[in-house]
Each structure stands twice: as C-alpha cells, then as structure tokens.
Structure 1
Amino acid sequence: MSTIGALYQQSMLKHPYGYALYEPESTKTLKPGSCGYLTELGQWTPLIGEDQAPINLGDASSLSRNGLTPFEQFYRAPTDTRSWGPKISGQVKQRKVELDVGAGLIPAGIPADVGALYRYGNEGGFGAILMTQSPVTKEFVYGATAFRVWCKENSSTILRRWPDVRDRGLVIVTSTYATEFAMLNAWKDTAKELSVGFRAGVVGIGELGPSCTWYTAQGESGWVSVAAEDAEERKVVFFGGLYFKYRRLGAMLPSSHVFSAGPVEKAKFRAGDPDANEFQIVDEREDGVYEVMVTAEEHGEMIDLPENEETGNVEYDDF
C-alpha cells in the first residue's frame, strides 16, 4: 500500500514544479546541487560527508573532502519569486462561497470580515491541498548532461560510501520552490471538505494567486504547518532534478536483482545525448564485485544552458 507521502507526491503532478514534499524540507539541507535520496515515506535524506555536512555539487571543498571529483559546471540562474494560490490535487474541487448570503456561512476560526471564502473537497479517493505564504522563491541551476556525467564518474564511490543509494537511488537536485511558511492537508479514501478564508477578494483558480493571508476553520482536522526558523532558512515544498536508479546485472550473479527508489515523475531524455539514459559501473561489495546498470530520469523542471557559438546549437525535445 502506498504511503500518504507517496500519494501526496503523485497527486501533485498536475503542478509543473517537480516532486511535492509531504514533509517540506529546510533549504539548509535541500538546495540546488544537493545529493541524496527519498525514503519510502517520501522524506528527503541528504548524503552526509565525513565533515558531517551534506554533499553539494556547488561546494568544491565538500566534494574533495569526500573523495568525489570536482563539478565545474555549476551555473546558478537568477533567483525568481512568485505568489501562489492554493495548490490542490487532481480530485479536489474548489468552490467559492457567496458571503453576501449571510455571515452564518463563515465557520468558526475564520474572521467575519474575510474577503473571500472557499471550500475544498472531494467525493472519495485521495485529496490534498497546499497553502504557501508569499513570496515563493525559486532557485535552480542550468544544465542536465553535466550532472549525468558527474554521476557516471562518481557512482562507484557513492555506492561504496553511501550504500543506501543501492536501494533508494540517487537524486541530484537542480531546482527548489521554497517559502517561509506552509500548511498542507492530505487525506485518503474518504469524502472531506475544508474551508479556507482569504483576506484578498479574489483567489486564482489556476497556478497564480494573490499575496494574501488565509485562515482555516476550527475543528477541521489534518492541517500540518511548517515554518522557517530563521531569516536564512526557507521550507522547500517542491523540488526537481535528476533521479538515478541502480540495477545489479546478472552476468556476475546467479540471478539479477532490481532496485527501485519508489514512484517519481518520469520523463524522457532529450534527444542528442545517447549516453545519458544509462551507463554501467562496477560495484565492489564485501560479498563480491558486480556490474551495475544505472538509469536516470528527469523529474521536475530542467533548463539547459544555452549553447555558445563555439560548441554549436543543440535542439532538444521538450519533456
């Protein structure tokens, strides 16, 4: 049976921001360049180096201290900020309540002078809603192929030093969407309705929404909130990047064994990069030496660094 974290991630694929975290993570441990994996519960776990600091491709000293090769193509894009309306899963419907009918429609916990009141619900199955305080900050780094090349060069070392990657796979983060404060509610296999009041008079039905304050009704269970603890921190609600799966081959083993890190958003690789989809490495364990096939998938938003005149222009298919 899928965990609520996995169901939440899958239900939020309608929004083009990557992997939705049921437990939003701190930007101190999840940022562009971070390396790690996801547990069965959907929790982000960074690779921790000998210095007890998370591995990040943007930190050359972190790589060298842990026996990893340098990454010389870490190009940050300008930081982008935006205002979001509520992010809801595919089965949840948003309905505006006409307040001019009477103040009695406003649930306890929501101010009587609220500018707009909306109800969110579904008739069964899984439902989720994410509320984020504005601004939502987007951080990302250019490129895709360079990250795959680096992984190919370092996979044997990574498997030796962080063996959990064999089962979980490896994620290299390339984009994050983070906020100072977020609330979310997720439920499964039951009909449910939630009330949310907004100070702003109009709430965007689609991806865009106003920068406004919201209120939830008393007695409606399931709301979970997270907040940044200091001025330097944000909470990541979506992230994107490259996901690498490791599959032990059968040539050196009596029977093959397949590993998987669980469901992620899948997308085809762009054309023009024939070696990107998969490569082979050697995995040395205490019980022997094995050939391993590594396959990679992009999930979330990826932006290629524009080619210059010397290297030529390369056209890719959208994903």
Structure 2
Amino acid sequence: MGGTDPMSHKHDSWGWMLAVDFFFAGMGGAMLVIAGIADLFLGTGMTSVLGNLLGALCIGLGACLLVLELGRPFQSWRVFMNPKAILTIGAWSMVLAMGAGIIFASFGIGSLPWSDAILARKVFAVVSVIFGLIVATYPGILLARHKSRPFWTGAGIMSLFVISSLVTGAAAHIVSQFVFDALASIVTSWQIVDASSSVVLDGLPYLTVALLVLQFILWIGYIWIKKTGTTEREANAADRWISGNYAMHFKGGFLFIGTLLPIVLILVPINLIQVFGTLLVLVGGVVMRLLVVYSGQDRTWLPGEQKYRSRLPIGDEAFLKAWK
C-alpha cells in the first residue's frame, strides 16, 4: 500500500507500528469513554468487566508499539519531559487513561473491598471518559499538525479518527460482552459483578451502525473536499484514494468490508453474525489507519529538499562498506 520512493528515509515517514498504535490506543480510549458514559448515565455494570479492562490494556499495547516505532526504547522516558510537545501530552494522557481505566474496571470485581464504593467508581468513570476521549482524539490532532502532508492537513482528519475510534470501541465492547458471557457461564466461581448484557447487546449494535453510517458519510465528504476544494497537492493525494494505489484498499477493504458490510451484518438478530460484523469493523479500523499513515509519504517538499535528499547515502554504498 505504501509504495516505494528511492529518496525515502526512515525519518521521512512512519510505518505500520504507528498505524497499529493508533488503532489500539484509539479503540481503547473509546472503550473507556463508552464504559464511563454508560456507567454515569445508564447505571452500574452496563458494560462487561472484560470490555472495561481491555480498554485500558489496548491503550497500553498501543503505547508499547509507539515506543518501538520511535526507536531507542530505553530512552522513551524522555517523551514525558517536554510539556510543550504534542507527543508529551499524548504520552501522559495514555498513562492517565490506562491508570483510571484499570481502577474503574476493578470496581466490577466483587471480591475487591472497594467494589461497592459507588462515589469513587463514578469519579474514575469521569476521569476515564476525559482521558479516554483525549487518547481517542490525539492521533488525528498529531497528523493534522503536519502541514507538509497534503492528505493529513486540516481538522477533518481529527474528526475521522474520533469517529473511527468510537466505532471500533463500540464493536470491541460487543465482542467483549459475548466473550464475557461465555466465560461466565463456564467459570461460575468468579466473584464478578455481572454486566447487563441485554442492555449492551441490544443498544450498542444500533449505536455502532449509526456511527458506521456517519463514518461513511464523513469519509466520502473528506475525499470530495480534498479532491475539489483544496490545493493541487491535496487533490493529487486524494486521487490516490479514488483511482490510485490506495483505491482498492480504501473502497474494498475499508468502505465495503469495514463499513458497509458490517452495517448489514450487525443489524441481523443472530449473535454469531453480529460478532462477525463487529470483527469486520475492527479490520476496517486497522486498514483505515494503515492507509492514512502510509499516505503521509505524499508530502510537500521545500525548494531544493528533494535534490538534497537524493544525494544522501542510502547505507549500502561502497565507500560506507569500506569502513565496516
């Protein structure tokens, strides 16, 4: 999907690990938002303990991938030290979201002494919603700030990431509820506050479908605006999604398999079909982020920058090998 460029270097573009980080972190943040809002406004135990815990764990998995993508993992602590950097804000938000999410999920374990502390549960539900939303929004903000990347620039990409995070978060909660119910029926000795699966499985599918419809509309609008109402470079970047090397993955992998087909499957009142539909939503979320990250290879070059980079060593030149 990403293509090759003879002048490309590792520092010029990001790879698949960042895309997968965006997927897990965004989905995990949205899972915390959904769980916290449900707990605050619908009642205690509206989402499964498994889903609540997975929200925090997914953010942690995304953070690990981000550390690996940035390189020098043993110096990753430096990202927390610059309060003015967008990466620092994102890193602290992920840490706080994970901590609040794990504590919030722990209130659903009946054997823990604080499981009946309703006020404390509500406080951590609020904190989970706040920092979960920041984590879900952060990838779009990070990309939108790169003005040299024609496809990313502008506030629209932030909206697309927020919607996708909410879609995948809702889908992950549905899958988690099915798994939780299956495990609970097998292991009856667990002292876990049972979630109201009827509320989750009856309500979340419709929310997921509504978000999928909105996601489809926003993406069509975003591509259309990039193609017709912006700069020539943005129009050229959009062409790659319409008829270029990203078109098949965008239209087939994301729009059809990851968006339109799940709309139909999730509305079918059969559990296995609904689960399959939600899994396709997750696949679509990964495909979308891979496409967006790889589209960052299209960039606006400064005068003379391409000529300069074309003269940089690639790494396998004869004069470099002589020093090895």
Would you say same fold, with TM above 0.5?
no
Q: If the TM-score is normalised by the length of the shorter chain, which range does it land in?
A: under 0.3
Q: TM-score, normalised by structure 1?
A: 0.21
